[in-house]
Structure 1
Amino acid sequence: MSAAFAAFAAFDQLATMVALVGSDGRCLQANSALENLMGISRRTLMRSSLVDWVADPTQLRETLHLVARNEVATSRFDALLHRQPAGSAELPVHVIVNQTDWPGCVLVELIVIEQQIRLDREERTHGLAQANKELVRNLAHEIKNPLGGIRGAAQLLAMEVTSKELTEYTQVIIHEADRLQALVDRLLAPHRRPHVVADVNIHEVCERVRSLIQAEFPRGLEVVRDYDASIPEFRGDREQLIQAVLNIAQNATQALAGSAPPDTDAPFHGRIARGDAQLVLRTRVARQVTFGRQRFRLALELHIEDNGPGVPEDIRDRIFHPLVSGREGGSGLGLTLAQTFVQQHQGTIECDSVPGRTVFKILIPLP
């Protein structure tokens, strides 16, 4: 049994709650995550039964006996955990019970359901982003090849025709081919641009974005800086991060500057013209953050917040998809590129939006 206790020390490095229990539920070992989330000391946990901490202990008790007797190798179910101090809200968890190599011992893993949902969403988002990047890249190449031929043919035709009206038509073809070429170049930009890694100060990135935004909107927009000066530098591509933050900030300012839809009372539109628009750049340090299945001790948390009308509800779940835009005439590439650049830094982007408050949160691991 001492070997089991020695091996269990490694579980203190996990973000999920883990306990080594007997078949009767008696807690033999608990990791630091369980200790912290339950709000009680490890010593107290080890003087009690894990069964006592579950709101409805019947399923856990039966599962522990089944796994300990080798009738099933593993089992999963959802449960509610009591927490300290008394009266605290019960914690919904996903319970995984596994066999161990130590006689009479069962390993119980408890994953907070909100965390599990977030992890599943991140995995789906990452997989979808990868599929979208491949689709966009292949589509862009397929468009690019004939586009050059169309433009070249229009130029040759323009040299042959003498009619002013026909010349105007050829110029329309050339102009539209150039516009499509620019769109294709933007689609391919993340795949062409080399990842230039150097020390990055996130506040230099934010200040660069702030200066660009205020140059575009010198009046009517207040840009609030709320920085944590203790955030260390990290290795990354400064230009990519500037572009990512700028794309999000520009989306916000376009929403703040936009006019209200006809026949509606939309108090959050046109705020720049009214002079009460606000954009907040906020940096913080997040601790013990999990991206996908990897845990990081520290992470940069950058909030880009505005008091605009919010992301339209019908596209809220698709805003990072390519060519999806909530603005007439928008390319729908700004957030896609921002997500690509942040993912290249092992990070994620999340969005929380309601009318009057939209927050994009960028998370990037720190050394």
Structure 2
Amino acid sequence: MKFNKTIASCDVLENLTTAVLVLDTSLRVCYINTATEVMFEMSQRQAEFLPFQTLIPGEVRLLASIDRVIKTGQPLIEREVQLFLPANGEIMVDCAIKPMDIDESFLLIELSQLDYQLRINRDENLHTQQQVVRGLAHEIKNPLGGLRGAAQLLERQLDSDDLKEYTRIIISEADRLQNLMNRMLGPYQQSEKQSVNIHEVLQRVRQLVDIEVDERLRFKVDYDPSIPDLFADFDQLIQIFLNIVRNAVQAMHGAGVIILRTRIQRNITIDKSFHRLGVLVEVQDNGPGIPKKLQDSLFYPLVTGRADGTGLGLYLVQNLVQRNGGTVACSSHPGETIFSVIFPLELARGR
């Protein structure tokens, strides 16, 4: 019996961010949607008639569940299934399996990648915390000017140099806190968006960092030359990737390899908005990795793993990425840390 691709290939399925597969009862692939093509890095034509087992090698739990659905005819949902994909490594998904309503000779498999939902939840939590921090920074910043002014007035009334030393400390600390608050509040200027070639941004960042390091640090590039221009703020993109790359240099103490990688991403969700196309920029280093205890709060303000750090670099990265309609994430273990930044490619010019 031939599967009706006309029904399955409707726009609704192709626009889903959930990976959808249709299998026959021999567990051969009959259809995959665009999100599945992205997940498995395989086209519909390549996947057609392949045994499902070849897409998920070594996966026992999911195959047992599919077998149960075939035998009972009852739909089943498996939560938090860890899959190893040859193209993308380990991912975690929720999986729904059910016989198709139009023809029970076929099975419908839905794979919802949990990384996306976790990223959305994290971005929502971070946005809330950013608003609290900005409000707190304003409240702290306002009286600092009065404190500094009072210390200056007091200094003029003092004759003793020893006592003036104390007022200088007050003024110096007020200036330091003022600078810290300004950095927490982030850049005030409006974004000046224009067509930007992401590879020009990365090359500029590389040039700036090359001046600061020696031959112990090497850059490698892995660019997709087909990526079209972004509509973004050029200077802010420079700052985003300069902060990320400098973090990597500091983590490796100036010795190691940094890989700059670009790829097209399809069917992405950013801040609950769906985009057909996006650009993924990865900054990968082979340093010691980020401590586990810091990974969940990495983009929060005042979180740092360095004794001399302020914990504002990545917080500002997150802020600037959001200003340009994107999202940022990090995965890290010893020997490999990857910062992934995704921007949509079809943002309206007026945004």
> TM-score of the superposition, structure 1-length normalised?
0.72
Change (3 A) 1:5 1:356: closer
The whole-number CA distance in structure 1 between the counterparts of 2:121 and 2:149 is 42
The whole-number CA distance in structure 1 between the counterparts of 2:320 and 2:72 is 45
The whole-number CA distance in structure 1 between the counterparts of 2:208 and 2:176 is 24
1:301 to 280, 291, 294: 280
Stretch moving more, 227-236 or 142-151: 227-236
1:310 maps to 2:289: yes
1:172 maps to 2:163: no
Aligned to 1:366: 345
SS of corresponding position for 2:304:
coil
SS of corresponding position for 2:284:
strand
The whole-number CA distance in structure 1 between the counterparts of 2:316 and 2:269 is 19
Q: Which runs of 5+ in 2 are unaligned?
A: 53-61, 84-89, 347-351
Offset of 1:213 from its aligned partner? 1.4
1:140 maps to 2:137: yes
The whole-number CA distance in structure 1 between the counterparts of 2:209 and 2:291 is 23
% identical equivalent positions: 36
The whole-number CA distance in structure 2 between the counterparts of 1:286 and 1:335 is 24
Change (3 A) 1:295 1:164: same
Offset of 1:19 from its aligned partner? 6.9
1:241 maps to 2:250: no
Aligned to 2:190: 194
Offset of 1:337 from its aligned partner? 1.0
The whole-number CA distance in structure 2 between the counterparts of 1:329 and 1:79 is 39
Aligned to 1:203: 199
SS of corresponding position for 1:350:
strand
Offset of 1:176 from its aligned partner? 0.5
The whole-number CA distance in structure 1 between the counterparts of 2:71 and 2:273 is 32
Aligned to 2:96: 95
Aligned to 1:336: 315
Aligned to 1:227: 223
1:55 to 60, 64, 68: 64
Aligned to 1:41: 48
Aligned residues, how many?
Answer: 318
Q: Give the letter for the 2:33 counterpart.
A: S
1:185 to 174, 182, 185: 182
Q: Which runs of 5+ in 1 are unaligned?
A: 46-52, 68-74, 83-88, 258-271
The whole-number CA distance in structure 2 between the counterparts of 1:166 and 1:193 is 40
Q: Aligned-residue CA RMSD in angstroms? A: 4.0
Change (3 A) 1:362 1:157: same
1:319 to 291, 298, 302: 298
The whole-number CA distance in structure 2 between the counterparts of 1:247 and 1:34 is 32
- The one-character-per-residue Cα deviations of 1:259-310 (angstroms, maximum 9, x if unpaired) are xxxxxxxxxxxxx3xxxx2342423223324225555443222221223222
SS of corresponding position for 1:343:
helix
Residue pair 1:137, 1:187 contacting (<8 A) in 2 also: yes
1:155 maps to 2:162: no
Aligned to 2:111: 111
Aligned to 1:252: 248
Offset of 1:188 from its aligned partner? 0.8
The whole-number CA distance in structure 1 between the counterparts of 2:72 and 2:316 is 47
- The one-character-per-residue Cα deviations of 1:324-367 (angstroms, maximum 9, x if unpaired) are 00000211011111112112333222222222332212222224
Q: Give the letter for the 2:95 counterpart.
A: H
Aligned to 1:266: none
SS of corresponding position for 1:331:
coil
Q: Give the letter for the 2:65 counterpart.
A: D
